[in-house]
Each structure stands twice: as structure tokens, then as C-alpha cells.
Amino acid sequence: MTVHEGDAPVPSAGAVLRLRDRELGPDRPVVMAIVNRTTDSFYAAARYGEDEAFDAAVRAAEEGADIVDLGGVRAGRGAEVDAAEEARRVVPLVERLRSEVPELLISVDTWRSEVARHAVRAGADLLNDTWAGHDPALVEVAAEAGVGVVCSHTGGALPRTDPLRVAYPARPGASDPRDGVLDDVLATLTAAAARAVGLGIDPASVLVDPTHDFGKNTWHSLHLVRRTAALTALGHPVLMALSRKDFIGETLGLPADERLEGTLAATAVAAWLGARVFRTHDIRATRRTVDMVAAIRGDVAPRTAVRGLV
């Protein structure tokens, strides 16, 4: 291949993801569907009752999701949901999906080890700890059960709180003063992933998530998309949970139900830079976006390529 002056190389592909008995490499970008068993999700279209949630998970698989991420508590502020109620909302759904859709990988979005323990007994393959080890026993549950875990970053924020004037000072001599947030994210994720691996979890089953919006303002979240390659260099599969988030809404001045295009733009950039897993409300659109990026990267071939040949 001829390399022209000024050409940039294709960024490195992200790490392989391994869950249960499945291995997903660069030729299969991973789509994680959001299925919320809540009545107050910030995105109204993602609120499901028990039967609706099962149907939504099945539909997500049909539309190209590899993983469904089941949540029983709104991430932001809202009505109190204790561990017993959270488990009541998600554990029966895990059991039903494992029984009726056995090929589907199941994630449970929880920060509570008590809920996590019930979830893995019911058949969950992944624990999505979006509150950065607030309950340090959760990763121990993942290790004991032999399932995957998501390591996240919140800048020390407590569960279900919103950021307020949070700052990440740049290190002395930093070439880019915006990298303060990146440095904090990298340090947090490196330590959390090392603990998970030290407990015996397969490194390919330890996902790292910069956790956009959590403990961050819009400038921070935009910069973390821009610097995705630094996250992939950690050597673990990178999860991007970008879907319809506030940083996209604030950037474009749009409410949650009008943020699809912004989400897909950020998704495409992150995919190009090596992110591997994409948590989304919009499964079909995300599947097509990441598959197209994979083809542009050269990780997969076009499904049909007859133009100009016949």
C-alpha cells in the first residue's frame, strides 16, 4: 500500500472481549442494548415493565445486540430503590432470558454486591458497575462467579448524584491541559482493572468504561471521546456508554429524544479509535454504525462487493 505524506495510520483495534464461552474480536463490534426496568429513566422510550422488558430484550437481539444490559435503578437522582426492590425488578428477567434466549449475553447494571450475587446466580454473564466500585465486594462477586465486570470512573461521586463544578487539574508540564480528566480516568481504571484481574477475572472479561457524564461536565466527556485511543491502550475492552447522554444534548442543544445523530457521531469516532463495546438505546442504528466503521477500518469485509465487477 502506498503511504502518502500526512497519512495517519488506522488506530489499533481494541482488545478482544470474552464472556461465557464467546470471544468477540475486531470483526464483531459489540452492541450492548439498554433495557431499563424503571419508571423514571431519563429517556422515556427506555422505560419498561416486566413483560415489556423481556420483549425489548428479545427485539434487541433480533436487531443485532450481543449483550442486553438490565437496570433496575435510575442512574440519576430519583425515588429511592432499595436492594430488594432492585433485585425484584431485574433478577426474574435474567432468569427468563437465560432460559428462553440462551445465546444472549446478559449484563446487569448495578453497584450493589447483594443484587449482583442474585443476578449471577440467575445467569448473568457481566456485572456493569457504573459507580466505580462504591461497593468493593461487587468485583469479588464477579470473580467468585467467573463472570465479567465493568470498571468505571465517577471521579469519586456517590451513586445517584450529579456532578457540580467538578475539576480535574492537569499534571505539571502536560502538553494538553484538558488531559487532567483523562489522567484521572486512566489511573482509576488501571487500578480497578488490576484488582479485578488479581482476583482471577480473565483480563478479556474486564471492561473499562470512562463513564461519560458521571462525575464529569460536557467538556470532560467530549475530551474522553477524543482521547479514546489512550483508553484502548490499557489493554482491556473499552465500553462506551454514550447513548443520548447529557453531554451530547448540551453540545447540540437537544433533548434526549433528539440525540440519536449526535450519539452515532460520537460512537463512530470511538469505534474508529478502538472502542469495542457500545451501550445504546438504539440497537439497529448502532449496529449499522459500528459495522460500517469496522469495514472502513478494514476489520471486516463488505457483505456484498459486486459494484464495478459485474
User: Catalytic residue numbers?
Assistant: 245, 279
Q: List 34's β-bridge partners, or say none.
A: 69
Three cell numbers written together for 239: 465500553
- Helix (H), strand (E) at residue 279: strand 277-280
- Helix (H), strand (E) at residue 269: helix 260-272
Cβ neighbour number for residue 4 with a 10 Å cutoff: 5
Between CA 71 and CA 41 the distance in angstroms is 10
List the one residue out of 140, 295, 128 whose CA is nearest residue 214. 128
Three cell numbers written together for 294: 469496522
The SS3 assignment for 183 reads helix
Between CA 138 and CA 128 the distance in angstroms is 10
Between CA 259 and CA 41 the distance in angstroms is 15
Strand order in the sheet with 277-280: 206-208, 148-151, 126-128, 105-109, 67-71, 30-36, 277-280, 239-241
Which residue type sits at 163? Answer: P
Would you say 107 and 81 are in contact if contact means Cβ atoms under 8 Å apart?
no
